[in-house]
Structure 1
């Protein structure tokens, strides 16, 4: 049985960010590292977006940037000047290639295309079984999400950000390549929080995603019918579908960190690294992976890694509202963006605001909804 210092079970966004930064730091060159995943990471299977004020280490993977965005619902449309931020798009395959190009130069890192079937932890050793081999390690980074642990409890709301996206090429020049559509709530809500998300890369090409924040998935045909209707409403009559993607991201404030042990840490979705109130993953994972690599250089007990912040509580309040009244998402986000300062909103969503700035953002939202949510959350906490 081969032994490693570190093993990553699952090589999603969080794992690859962490490994990349471990390599860049130069502090782990003497550590044997194994990456295990049933996915080869050789296809363009997803798209991530994030906003930033300056260049990041992922510049090679960014395929498009926008300085402008649109927020809309049935009653108003607002053009947002994002400066000093830019909205960035990262295609999955570009990101994987950036990370694997660096991995290929490392003698101490191994990637195996194998499915993890079992993990067994003893006091000082972790055993990992795949569909073909067994391995051991001293420290394990797990990003394989086990939804039963989260969904079989009632204390913390669990919604899904679920979507299907089409990257299309139109015969007509319809799109504004300088402006992304951040959220368009003009689509029928049907008792949920539903919106279209549009990322134009040229006047004739764009990624369009029909997205919901809700409890249950739809039939595939319903997502695609809504995308077709939206394309038609844009005035596009002839187009070609270049690529398709789909996804479902858990939105919850469930305390994943309580599942960490001294030698096993849950990262990514399994560690609660997704921004619970929006489903945004890239920026949160970027920040958390940096914190984790710094932590590894001085600490050995993974139970010490996590810290609760005020933003966890803010997310919990919004999720409590959407859990009970899922149809209110459009009005909540619309009230925030209708007159709110976009720069301040993005800073708030990045969890970088002061308490005074938090209040400025929160006061744009329907106040009674959040006051009631405070009491709801407090009541649940006392149970």
Structure 2
């Protein structure tokens, strides 16, 4: 049975970002690292978007970037002022190619195309069972999400950011290539938080995505019918569907870190790395993978890595509202973005604001909803 210093169970976004930072740091060149995943990571299976000021480690693989966007609901439309932020899009295949081209330079890092079926921390090392063989390691970083953990409790609500997106090419110009639709709540809400999300590449080409923040997924036809109807409202009656993407991202403040042990760390969605209030993953994973790579150079007890902060509680209050009054999502996000000032919202969602700046954002939201959620949460603690 082969032994490694580090094993990554699952080679998703969080694992690949973390192992990339470990590789490029030079601090782990004498330690063996194994990635285990059933997917070969050779397909363009997703896109990631994130806002950013200045450059990032991923700048060379940004496929598209925008300096503004539009927010809309049934009663108003406003262009967002990014104030120096840029909204970036990265294609999955470009990210995988970038990561694995770097990992190939490091002989201490191996990739095994298998599925992890179980693991156990003995206190001295971790046994990792894959389909074909087993391994041991000093430290396991697990990114395989177990939905039963959050679903088995009722203290923390669990919603999903679920969507279907079409990459379309239209026969006539219908898109503004410099103006994506960040959130368009003008579509029928039907008792939920529902919006269209559009990433335009040219006047005739874009990704058009129907997205919900809610508990339950829809039949596939309902997402696709909504996209068809939206395209008709834009004047696109004839188009080619180049590709499709479907996803469901957990949105919860459930404390995944409580499942960590000294030698097992849950990362990515499995570790609560997804931003609970929005479902965004890339920016959070970028920051947390850098923090983790630094932590691994100094400490070895994973139970010391995570703590709650004020932003965890803010996210929890929003999810409390959406879990009970899912139709209120449009009014909450509309209040946040109505004045068009997006930069301070981005900074708040990146968890980089002072308490005074927090209050500036929070008081833009419907106050009654959040005061009620706060009182209910205090009573239930």
TM-score by length of 1: 0.98
- What is residue 55 of structure 1 aligned with on the other side? 55
Mapping 1:119-138, distance limit 5 Å: 119-138=119-138
- What is residue 186 of structure 1 aligned with on the other side? 186
The range that moved more, 371-380 or 192-201, is 371-380
Mapping 1:108-123, distance limit 5 Å: 108-123=108-123
Q: Cα offset for 1:340? A: 5.6
Retained in 1: the 8 A contact 2:83–2:343? yes
Segments of 5+ residues of structure 1 without an aligned counterpart are: none
Matched, 1:199 2:191: no
Q: Name the SS of the counterpart of 1:200 in structure 2.
A: strand
Count of residue correspondences:
381
Q: Name the SS of the counterpart of 2:180 in structure 1.
A: strand
- What is residue 258 of structure 1 aligned with on the other side? 258
CA distance in structure 2 between the aligned counterparts of 1:113 and 1:153, rounded to whole angstroms: 33
Segments of 5+ residues of structure 2 without an aligned counterpart are: none
Retained in 2: the 8 A contact 1:5–1:32? yes
Mapping 1:91-110, distance limit 5 Å: 91-110=91-110
- What is residue 212 of structure 1 aligned with on the other side? 212
Give RMSD over aligned pairs. 0.7
CA distance in structure 2 between the aligned counterparts of 1:90 and 1:105, rounded to whole angstroms: 23
Q: Name the SS of the counterpart of 1:150 in structure 2.
A: helix
Q: Deviations over 1:327-379 (max 9, x none)?
A: 00000000111126211111111111111111111111000100000011112
Q: Name the SS of the counterpart of 1:370 in structure 2.
A: helix
Mapping 1:7-156, distance limit 5 Å: 7-156=7-156
User: Where do 4+ consecutive residues of structure 1 move more than 4 Å?
Assistant: none
- What is residue 355 of structure 1 aligned with on the other side? 355
Q: Name the SS of the counterpart of 1:339 in structure 2.
A: coil
Retained in 2: the 8 A contact 1:340–1:361? no
- What is residue 325 of structure 1 aligned with on the other side? 325
Q: Cα offset for 1:249? A: 0.5
Q: Cα offset for 1:302? A: 0.4
Q: Deviations over 1:92-140 (max 9, x none)?
A: 1111111000011110000011011111220111111111111110100
TM-score by length of 2: 0.99
Q: Cα offset for 1:83? A: 2.6
CA distance in structure 2 between the aligned counterparts of 1:218 and 1:39, rounded to whole angstroms: 26
CA distance in structure 2 between the aligned counterparts of 1:47 and 1:133, rounded to whole angstroms: 32
